[in-house]
Amino acid sequence: TVLVLDFGAQYAQLIARRVREANVYSEVVPASTPAAEILERRPAALILSGGPSSVYEDGAPRLDPALLEAGVPVLGLCYGFQSIAHALGGVVAKTGTREYGSTTLESLVSDSVLFDGQDDDQVVWMSHGDAVTGAPEGFTVTATSSGAPVAAFEDRERRIFGVQWHPEVGHSTRGQEVLANFLHKGAGLGSDWTAANVIDEQVELIREQIGDARAICGLSGGVDSAVAAALVQRAIGDRLTCVYVDHGLMRQDESAQIEKAFGESTGGARLVMVDAREDFLNALAGVTDPEAKRKIIGERFIRTFEKAQADIIAESADDPNAPEVRFLVQGTLYPDVVESGGGDGTANIKSHHNVGGLPDDIEFELCEPLRALFKDEVRAVGSELGLPDEIVWRQPFPGPGLGIRIIGEVTAERLDLLRRADAIVRAEMTAAGLDRQIWQCPVVLLADVRSVGVQGDGRTYGHPVVLRPVTSEDAMTADWARLSSDLLARISNRITNEVDGVNRVVLDVTSKPPGTIEWE
Ligand code: XMP
């Protein structure tokens, strides 16, 4: 594992993603983790992230020199680079001016490890106040820039490297090569983080965890739970039962489609369809607070799974050797864990239904084979497992469904309204060929807002719906998608004409951050 030490960077997750793109497994840990604990994990290499501090500030996160003396290859980025210089006796100067944005490198040493085979004219993304003006003893300066007299250095013997810029962001033209050079040439790591290896490793771990017991898997119709189910199916065969809960918060015709697609996707695992529509709607009556909704939905899911569990146990009541039904398989991803406050020091932004939304008194043991993966990795694993494109490339849809896309109380009438508007949006997006380009396009009903309109010479007093089309790589950050005005016009016309009760269509033009993708 390559550990990314997070010094408070906006980009720490992104660094881990880029490392994995170079086929090396990587995780993020807070920089405050004691050095002994970090080294105990026997990291294959360390990457020190950037961060907002100056090495001279009181209370700035410190780099423990022990990490540089352990013989583990190290790459420092930005603040991490300056920390190395500071710790090993180099000179870090307060320049007083910030260098921010794109810069071209100068005097690049092309037979260095990081720049092997590259030439001078590479553009890099800088964002720093202090600058390294003198490299520590034993280091060679391998690049400079106008604002950074030492823009990169390396000590091949100790295998310690650093760059002042951010190779992980797309604006750095050769950034991925620089990272790959560190991993493969500097640290000598192989490329063994591949979908096929993830499958072998996970199947092994699932067998170990579940043993002889039986498991049920909550299937949502999305790629995550389908891939989780397929992995567990491969590991324990027909001791897995999939449970699809129709909570009444799905989109138009979705439940039927999921039942149909299921057969192909999990190689014949058993599927139980549960109709819990009334149950969920009753539990949500009168509730408007987003976190309360999420908690209620999370709890309802678990209670429904418990009932399914009891049914499965009852079926095999005659068989004294029937294994326990003890595990609940979920398609929880790495970003869900981080955003539900699972990562150390991260704020609880919202309780994703399958992580923070779980009740405390849950009796299942959880099996979450995708907990370390990003969405694109899940898709690669799904393809490798032979799941159909229709499932692998399905756009994300949140577990709490339309329940968190109705701002205000969730009622049957409001769900019906939103379903009809959403179906139009999805049909038009598909017709425009945008399904793979757009990450997803939530349609949100502002159920407590009404505005005046005019239609067919009459006054209307209806609700607005919001279109929230976004592009994203992993849902951790997102940008609003620039849909063509023709497409927007078509969607707007159709919704206001075809959905009685909606008289206004508005477009959300907020990126994430500061907005989140879903409105609740
Ligand atoms: P946010 O709104 O947090 O969404 O920016 C990030 C991504 O996660 C999806 N999402 C969820 N998925 N259970 C899920 O399975 C949830 O509770 C949940 N909440 C949000 C959202 O659709 C987006 O893709």
Question: What pLDDT shows up at residue 57?
Answer: 86
DSSP notation for 397-445: --TTGGGGTEES---HHHHHHHHHHHHHHHHHHHHTT-TTTSSB--EEE
Share of the chain above pLDDT 90, in %: 75
**Protein fold of 195-392:** Rossmann fold (3.40.50)
**For the chain, what's the residue count?**
520
**Distances 422 to 74, 498, 505, 514 between C-alpha atoms, Å:** 49, 12, 12, 24
Strand ranges, E, within 17-90: 26-30, 45-48, 74-77
Residue having the nearest C-alpha atom to atom 7 of ligand 1 = 475
518 in active site: no
330 lines ligand 1 (CB under 6 A): no
The two tokens of residue 143 are 């690049």
Q: CA-based Rg of the chain, rounded to a whole angstrom?
A: 26
520 lines ligand 1 (CB under 6 A): no
Tell me how far the alpha carbon of residue 281 lies from the centroid of ligand 1, in angstroms. Answer: 20
pLDDT of 343 over the 60 cut: no
pLDDT in tens, 162-221: 999 999 988 889 999 999 999 999 999 999 999 999 999 999 999 999 999 999 999 988
- Residues 78, 217, 242, 441: which is the catalytic one? 78
CA dihedral 210, 211, 212, 218 (to 10 degrees): 10
pLDDT of 432 over the 70 cut: yes
**406-507 has the same fold as 2-186:** no
339 lines ligand 1 (CB under 6 A): yes
The two tokens of residue 82 are 């300056």
- The chain-wide mean pLDDT, for the chain, equals 92
pLDDT of 339 over the 70 cut: no
Question: What pLDDT shows up at residue 342?
Answer: 54
94 vs 508: which has the higher pLDDT: 508
Which of 50-59, 158-167, 224-233, 367-376 comes out lowest in average pLDDT?
Answer: 50-59
Question: What pLDDT shows up at residue 341?
Answer: 60
106 in active site: no
441 in active site: no
Query: Which pLDDT band holds residue 347 (cuts at 50, 70, 90)?
Result: low
Q: Which of 251, 296, 336, 480 to mutate to test the pocket of ligand 1 (most atoms within 8 A of CB)?
A: 336
Query: Quick check: 161 and 184 in contact, CB under 8 A?
Result: no
20 lines ligand 1 (CB under 6 A): no
Residue having the nearest C-alpha atom to atom 22 of ligand 1 = 398
**DSSP one-letter code for 61:** P
pLDDT of 127 over the 90 cut: no
User: What residue ranges do the domains of the chain occupy?
Assistant: 2-186, 195-392, 406-507
515 lines ligand 1 (CB under 6 A): no
How many C-beta neighbours within 10 Å does residue 117 have?
9
Q: Which residues pair with 329 in a beta bridge?
A: 217, 367
Its ipTM equals 0.99
**Protein fold of 2-186:** Rossmann fold (3.40.50)
148 vs 425: which has the higher pLDDT: 425
Determine the average pLDDT of the residues in 216-244: 93
Question: What pLDDT shows up at residue 380?
Answer: 95
Determine the average pLDDT of the residues in 119-147: 91
Pick the CATH number of 406-507 from 3.30.300.10, 1.10.760.10, 3.40.50.720, 2.60.200.30: 3.30.300.10
56 vs 63: which has the higher pLDDT: 63
350 lines ligand 1 (CB under 6 A): yes
Tell me how far the alpha carbon of residue 350 lies from the centroid of ligand 1, in angstroms. Answer: 9
Query: Which pLDDT band holds residue 12 (cuts at 50, 70, 90)?
Result: confident
Ligand 1 atom closest to the Cα of residue 331 is 15
pLDDT in tens, 240-279: 999 999 999 999 999 988 888 877 666 667 899 999 999 9
Strand ranges, E, within 267-380: 270-275, 325-329, 365-367
Question: What pLDDT shows up at residue 114?
Answer: 96
